[in-house]
Chains A and B, each alone.
Chain A
Amino acid sequence: MEEGFEGLSQSLSGLKRTFRSGKTRGVEWRKAQLRALLKFLAENEAQIFEALKQDLGKHPIGVVKKSADHALLHIQKWMAPKRANYHYFCFHQELKYCQNHWALYLYLDPGISPSHQHARLCLNAQSLFIWTSAVKVIEGGSDVAEQLLQQRWDKIFFTGSPRVGRIIMSAAAKHLTPVTLELGGKCPVILDSFSGSDFKVAVKRIAGGKWGPCAGQACIGIDYVLVQQNLAPVLVESLKSCIKKFYGENVKTLQSICRIVNKHHFDRIRNLLEEPGVAASIVYGGSMDQDNLMIEPTILLDPPLDAQIMTEEIFGPLLPIVTLDKIEESIDFINERPKPLAIYAFTKNKKLKDQILQETSSGSVTFNDAIIQFICDTLPFGGIGQSGFGRYHGKYSFDTFSHEKAVLHRTFFPEFEPRYPPWNDFKLDFIRLAYNLDYVGLLLLLLGLRRIFTPNRSR
């Protein structure tokens, strides 16, 4: 571990000094850091994949590279001040707002004990940044996080659970530090009925959206499915055959799927299945390999709604299917629960789509697919209610770490006399007329004729 408690205050002072020197503001510095990040990703790809495999049994993908490329391409445009239109009657004005970015931000990842590979990678990453005095990686668990939270930051960006989100926000309150909280929730799928090959695609996307992202350990991963009762049997059968094809049938020999991150979470997920009525609702799967921290993709049909598996975010490879008499009931079902980070609705029914959009609230809505909104840089990514607040991705990331500062430029000429005391009825009249852009009234006032022409002003 690079830092330790003792080094933390020194690191922080160092970061502040670097920021105040102005070095991080220039576009060249920013581009250099982004290029360094891309270089790090390219040169260490194999090690990154190995570390992710060790930590989670994860398969590689290139989303971070895509975000860095996008930022590199657009950063100059994002940094440029924006001109605002004005219509106020003061002349010779220019209005701009410009990005004045945060000095220091703290990015906290949920504490998972790093493998040796992971630690080495962090150090490699840090050494590749040109200004290591401005970008630091601090490893550790909740004790280190607590120390970090006692410091004063200009922004805190947290990804994790609502419980820890509350702790972060309370700590941030002491210093009036703004936060972005990317939390989780139970992301539901609403599966409407439609036929043939489209249904098969929908099931593939649901399976991919459940077990694809880190075996269900993803904030935007599918948590549970809502489906009309008559469709449940065919859904279960289709999911079973998808699972066998994608991942295999034996928990000891599963392919292309992550393991559970650690024993604590493995036990947590296992306990979900041990509540009364829950185990009985398993229709596929349920096997576990404790030594390898593997849980096979598991489907449950109508588990008890008051069981933990249905009241807490599962964050694992268990997929409850909840049946309804009519699919429209899914809207009330979702609204009775905390707002999720995402709602996934598979439907071709425009009326249902409109209802979902207008009557539910969630971080985002995706129709006829799952997870994929995460890689669209033009869409903001963030939660609402219990699933968090603030957003990022693409330019929204830039904005999240910026202060949009309004700047009004004026010249010394012309002057507007009525704004200055001593005030009298004339000046008050003038201001009223000027604010309403009543040029005729102004003219009459200036000619001293207004009182002749003005109607009796009573309530």
Chain B
Amino acid sequence: MAPGPVVDRTAQNVERVSQDLRSVYSSGKTKSVEWRVSQLKSLLRITTHYEKDILEALRSDLNKPELEAFSHEVYGVSSSCELALKELHRWMMPEKVKTSMINFPSTGEIVSEPLGVVLVISTWNYPFKLSLDPVIGAIAAGNAVVLKPSEVAPATSSLMSNLLGEYMDPSAVKVVEGGVPETTALLEQKWDKIFYTGNSKIGRIILTAAAKHLTPVVLELGGKCPVVVDSNIDLKVAARRIISGKWACNSGQTCVSPDYIVTTKEYALKLVDALSCELENFYGKDPLLSNDLSSIINSRHFDRLTKLLDDEKVSGKVVIGGQRDRDKLKIAPTVLLDVSQDSLVMNEEIFGPLLPIVTVAKIEESIGLINTKEKPLAAYMFTNDKKLKEEFIRSVSAGGMCINEIALHLAEHTLPFGGVGESGMGAYHGKFSFDAFSHKKPVLQRGFNGDVAARYPPYTPWKLKFLKAMLSGNILSILRALIGW
């Protein structure tokens, strides 16, 4: 970390950024439809015109294959922009509500207004998408926004800083690059909302900082996402989808990637065979040579993952993979079978290409096992058993769920994406992003006619009777009160 004066300058810079944004927001500029549309169009232009640069930056930061980078990140952002542009007018429209008899005559509506100046703190595994998706929501809702991309993905951070600086309105959309000192300085400021994607340890720091200013937050955290694999299913398809959601998503470095599998003792070997066969189809005999597998982000995480593999409690449990190359920061897709609950790999979010399988005697026991752990961001089940599926949905609490699929619920903008418990709070995607950055302000309009004397003092028993009748909404009671019955 740099010495004192640089830290002070950071704090001053950040304070100035916050103040500048606040005065621009107060001018009302970001509230207009025209401004929001122009900014969304600029973001879309960046995503389409600079696709090649974005893919290169992602390859540089994460060794991310082009198909992953395109479909998860570039397409993800451009489709969010297009959706927001298409739906913005409808999202911005006030929602009319019915008002009750006690307020008669009146009209009610709920108006969406921006929160003000918001802070988006992003992460390194999907550095483009997880930075810009929340920014799209913030802009669509009419806020001024500061984006703090992750310093762990420097090429993407720098690219976004340059492109947003060039194409967006710099008075209302700012990128502050940097690491811990910059983030700390940002958290000292007062924001109208903080949107954070990352881990639960930092999530707590963010929430504590937000508490000083009573700032509401969205925390998109992680967790150990379980996959329950029942028998009597199309095992080949299930294996392919598990692989796709695990290793074809940034080598398992994804908040919604399968973290561990639960299946019956009888079925486990069949599953291992299916995974082994499809892994070879996807990545070849030596996966470390495949160009379609992302690397581990840095040596710190590489060492963290190899420590999990070298834990003596899992020795002898590796049934697929286990190869590693520290120079290239690559670990082969690795499956472990029958790991014990007290091993390291079962007690922290793996966030990498290791997939333990835990076995149970009966598949129904998987639900109890999952519920002994913290609530994950996602939970998955492969089954054709309707009763088991319903029990799973009813009994397991998770941010979101897929049945017979992995992670695809993120792609549906009509579904809210967010965590619960340790996996976070709040949600976004699609209109939920707009709502996350809006204040839904109720507006009640009354006229002066029909003023009810019963509401004013001096209070009498008759007035009480009448008011109770009005609150009940029961016409008969109201009539009886009126005639003094």
A binding-site residues for B, Cβ under 8 Å? 20, 22, 25, 59-63, 65-66, 69, 84-86, 88, 90, 93, 95, 97-98, 100, 154, 162, 165-166, 169-170, 172-174, 176, 178, 181, 183, 197-198, 201-202, 204-205, 207-208, 212, 245-247, 255-257, 335, 357-359, 361-369, 372-373, 375-381, 384-386, 388-391, 403-413, 415, 419-423, 427-428, 431-432, 435, 459
Contact = CB atoms under 8 A, between A and B. Distances in A.
B50 A459 contact: yes
Given A174-B204, A376-B99, A389-B216, A65 B439 contact: no
A176 B444 contact: no
B211 A166 contact: yes
A406 B65 CA distance: 29
A212 B108 CA distance: 23
Nearest to A432: B70
Contacts of B293: 421
B173 to A, nearest CB: 20
A372 B397 contact: no
Contact of A410 (B49, B399, B402): B402
Contacts of A406: 399-401, 409, 412, 415-417
Interface string B93-135: 0000111101100101011010110000000000000000000
Contacts of B208: 170, 173-174
21 contacts: A63-B471, A170-B208, A173-B210, A197-B448, A247-B457, A247-B458, A361-B113, A368-B445, A368-B446, A376-B106, A377-B100, A380-B442, A403-B397, A405-B398, A408-B405, A408-B409, A410-B408, A412-B404, A419-B248, A421-B65, A421-B292
Interface stretch (B1-9, B237-245, B303-311, B337-345): B237-245
Interface string B440-454: 111111111001000
B244 A366 contact: no
Interface string B73-100: 0010001000000000000000001111
B151 interface: no
B282 A246 contact: no
A365 B443 contact: yes
Given A95-B412, A421-B248, A435 B79 contact: yes
Contact of A407 (B211, B403, B446): B403
Interface stretch (B159-167, B268-276, B354-362, B419-427): B419-427
Contact of B397 (A93, A197, A405): A405
A378 B108 contact: yes
Contacts of B200: 176
Nearest to A344: B444
Given A169-B211, A386-B214, A435 B403 contact: no
Contact of B52 (A20, A181, A197, A459): A459
Contact of A255 (B233, B422, B424, B458): B458
Given A363-B441, A364-B441, A410-B404, A166 B214 contact: yes
A404 B428 CA distance: 12
